[in-house]
Structure 1
Amino acid sequence: MADSKREIERKYEATPGTRLPDLTRVAGVSAVVHRGLRELDAVYYDTEDLRLAADSLTLRRRTGGDDAGWHLKFPVSTGIRDEIHAPLADTLPHSLAGLLRSRVRDAETVPVVRLLSSRDVHHLLDEDGVLLAELSIDEVRAERLTAQAHGATAAWTEIEVELADDGDPAFLDAVEQRLHKAGVRSSASASKLARALAETAPKKQRRKKKSGPAAPLTAGDHVLAYVRDQIEAVIGLDPAVRRDLPDSVHRMRVATRRLRSAFKTYRKVLDRTVTDPVGEELKWLAAELGIDRDQEVLDERLGTRIAALPRTLLLGPVRGRLRLWSVARRAGSRRRIVSVLDGKRYLALLETLDTLLADPPLLPGAAQEPGEALPRAVLKDYERLATRIGHALAQPPGEDRDLAMHEARKAAKRARYAGEAARPALGKPAKKFAKRVKAVQTVLGEHQDSVVARDALRGLAVQAHGAGESAFTWGLLYGQEEAAAADRERELPEVWAQASDPGLRSALKS
Structure 2
Amino acid sequence: MSATETTATETTEVELKYDLDDHTSVPDLTVLKAVHSVSGPVIEHLDATYYDTDALDLAGNKITLRRREGGHDEGWHLKRPPIGEGIGRREMHVPLEHAADPFSEVVVPSDLTDHVQVHVRGRRLSPIATISTVRRITELHDSDGQVLAVLCEDTVSTQSLLSHGHAQSWNEWELELVTGDVKLLEAADELLRSQGARTATSASKLARAIGPTPTSADAGSGVSRGGKKSSGKKLSALELVIAELAAHRDHLVAQDPLVRISAPDSVHQMRVATRRARSVLRSFPEVLHGDVIGHLEGELKYLAGILGDARDAEVQLERNRGLLSAESAPPTIVTALIDDQIKTCESTVEFVLEYLKSARYFELLNELDRTVAEPQPGPDADLTATKALDQAVARSAERVRKAQRKLKTLAVESPEWIEQLHTIRKRAKQLRYTTDSADRLGTKKHKKIAKQAKQEQAALGDFHDAEVSREHLAQLASGSGISTADAFVYGRLDAREQFAAATAMRAYRKAKSLL
TM-score (norm 2): 0.84
Q: Which residues of structure 1 form unaligned runs of 5+?
A: 501-510
- Which residue of 2 is the match for residue 506 of structure 1? none
Change (3 A) 1:128 1:456: farther
Q: Distance in 1 between matches of 2:220 and 2:38?
A: 43
- Which residue of 2 is the match for residue 110 of structure 1? 126
Assess if the C-alpha contact under 8 Å between 1:316 and 1:470 holds in 2.
Answer: no
Q: Distance in 1 between matches of 2:27 and 2:334?
A: 60
Assess if the C-alpha contact under 8 Å between 1:423 and 1:430 holds in 2.
Answer: no
**1:81-480 map, 5 Å:** 81-89=89-97, 90-148=106-164, 150-164=165-179, 171-181=181-191, 183=193, 186-187=199-200, 189-198=202-211, 214-215=222-223, 216=229, 217-307=235-325, 309=326, 311=328, 314-315=329-330, 317-392=332-407, 396-430=412-446, 433-463=449-479, 466=482, 470-480=486-496
Change (3 A) 1:419 1:264: same
Assess if the C-alpha contact under 8 Å between 2:237 and 2:381 holds in 1.
Answer: yes
Structure 1 position 80, deviation (Å): 2.8
- Which residue of 2 is the match for residue 80 of structure 1? 88
- Which residue of 2 is the match for residue 507 of structure 1? none
- Which residue of 2 is the match for residue 60 of structure 1? 66
Change (3 A) 1:393 1:142: farther
Assess if the C-alpha contact under 8 Å between 2:220 and 2:239 holds in 1.
Answer: no
- More deviation in 481-490 or 425-434? 425-434
Change (3 A) 1:402 1:213: closer
Q: Distance in 1 between matches of 2:413 and 2:354?
A: 42
Assess if the C-alpha contact under 8 Å between 2:36 and 2:141 holds in 1.
Answer: yes
Counterpart secondary structure, 1:7: strand
Query: Aligned letter for 2:361?
Result: Y
Q: Which residues of structure 2 form unaligned runs of 5+?
A: 1-5, 98-105, 224-228, 230-234
Change (3 A) 1:22 1:274: closer
Q: Distance in 2 between matches of 1:129 and 1:364?
A: 69
Q: Distance in 2 between matches of 1:49 and 1:83?
A: 22
Q: Distance in 1 between matches of 2:316 and 2:57?
A: 38
Deviations 1:180-234 (A, max 9, x none): 2553555454333233333xx69xx9xxxx9995344311011011112222333
1:3 aligns with 2:8: yes
Assess if the C-alpha contact under 8 Å between 1:14 and 1:158 holds in 2.
Answer: yes
Structure 1 position 406, deviation (Å): 0.9
Percent identity over paired residues: 31
Assess if the C-alpha contact under 8 Å between 1:14 and 1:159 holds in 2.
Answer: no
Q: Distance in 1 between matches of 2:428 and 2:219?
A: 37
Q: Distance in 1 between matches of 2:373 and 2:351?
A: 31
Assess if the C-alpha contact under 8 Å between 1:7 and 1:163 holds in 2.
Answer: no
- More deviation in 421-430 or 268-277? 421-430
Structure 1 position 392, deviation (Å): 4.2
Q: Distance in 2 between matches of 1:191 and 1:173?
A: 23
Query: Aligned letter for 2:206?
Result: L
Structure 1 position 431, deviation (Å): 5.2
Assess if the C-alpha contact under 8 Å between 1:13 and 1:186 holds in 2.
Answer: yes
- More deviation in 65-74 or 383-392? 383-392
Change (3 A) 1:336 1:214: closer
Change (3 A) 1:380 1:163: farther
Change (3 A) 1:316 1:260: same
- More deviation in 256-265 or 339-348? 339-348
Q: Distance in 2 between matches of 1:393 and 1:492?
A: 14
- Matched pairs, number: 481
Counterpart secondary structure, 1:141: strand
Counterpart secondary structure, 1:118: strand
Change (3 A) 1:117 1:222: same
Deviations 1:218-254 (A, max 9, x none): 1101101111222233334322222222222222211
TM-score (norm 1): 0.85
Structure 1 position 56, deviation (Å): 0.9
